[in-house]
């Protein structure tokens, strides 16, 4: 167990993309961070090494967020390493985009297993174990408000995340734990960029008053705010999209 007296965060899906940016920002804020990953051990190690090199403290842990036993093991490991957990950020997620009529049941079930079931399992375990003064931060999307074609089942999965966040915030009354969701617009991550050509990316960027897509650190900044000083923000979804809608 670490002997450093500091707050502790679990960030799921934090070996790459938005999760990595969130983990690095929380580590910069002084939190010890658990880098959760599902399969890319090398990327998880790179994230841990980057945090350590910057003076932070991090440990990797492999767990499929859709598996109940593995989620419990993730929290057990965190308690063993750092003594408890104060912040949980649900960044693990996948995105499949295509018209509803072309979606297969298998694609739908796979996406919802991670985006919905995974967020539920991690949030439930966090609610059971989190210390007072803590924060649960779930990742939603601005896509549901934008009503973009091909984003239907993905937006549906994130609508479920927002619903869970709202109710859980109220269920934790008296625990001094906040629960919020962050809804990013298009962000320059592998999750968003995969399968899109430059013309499509530019067209999506043009929908934003800044004429660009977001960067992971810009989303991580809001996660950091909700994880720390924003104690009077609770049961909300904060859209972080540069004014796209």
φ, ψ (nearest 5 deg) of residue 90? -90, 90
How many helices (H) and strands (E) the chain has is answered by: 10, 7
Phi, psi of 80 (to 5 degrees): -65, -40
Task: Evaluate whether 133 touches 88 at the Cβ level (below 8 Å).
Answer: no
Q: Is 154 a catalytic residue?
A: yes
Q: In the numeric block, which tokens belong to residue 241? A: 């999209």
Catalytic residue from among 154, 192, 225, 239? 154
Name the region of 211 (left: φ>0; alpha: ψ -120 to 50; beta: rest).
left
User: 151: closest CA among 122, 184, 199, 188?
Assistant: 184
Per-residue tokens: 128? 């059971």
Q: How many residues in total does the chain contain?
A: 245
Please give the positions annotated as active site.
154
């Amino acid at each position: 167990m670490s002997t450093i007296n500091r707050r502790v965060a679990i960030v799921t899906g934090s070996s790459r993309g938005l999760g990595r940016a969130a983990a690095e920002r929380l580590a910069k804020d002084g939190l010890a961070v658990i880098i959760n990953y599902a399969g890319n051990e090398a990327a998880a190690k790179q994230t841990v090494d980057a945090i350590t090199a910057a003076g932070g403290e991090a440990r990797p842990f492999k767990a499929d967020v859709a598996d109940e036993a593995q989620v419990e093991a993730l929290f057990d490991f965190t308690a063993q390493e750092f003594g408890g957990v104060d912040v949980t950020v649900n960044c693990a997620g996948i995105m499949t985009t295509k018209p509803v009529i072309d979606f297969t049941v298998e694609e739908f079930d796979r996406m919802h297993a991670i985006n919905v079931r995974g967020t539920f399992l991690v949030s439930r375990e966090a609610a059971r174990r989190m210390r007072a003064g803590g924060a649960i931060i779930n990742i939603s999307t601005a896509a549901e408000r934008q009503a973009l074609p091909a984003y239907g089942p993905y937006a549906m999965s994130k609508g479920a995340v927002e619903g869970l966040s709202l109710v859980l915030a109220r269920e934790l009354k008296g625990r001094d734990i906040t629960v919020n969701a962050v809804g990013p617009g298009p962000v320059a991550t592998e999750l968003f960029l995969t399968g899109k050509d430059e013309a499509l990316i530019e067209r999506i960027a043009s929908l934003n008053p800044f004429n660009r897509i977001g960067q992971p650190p810009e989303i991580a900044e809001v996660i950091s705010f909700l994880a720390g000083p924003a104690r009077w923000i609770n049961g909300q979804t904060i859209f972080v999209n540069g004014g796209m809608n």
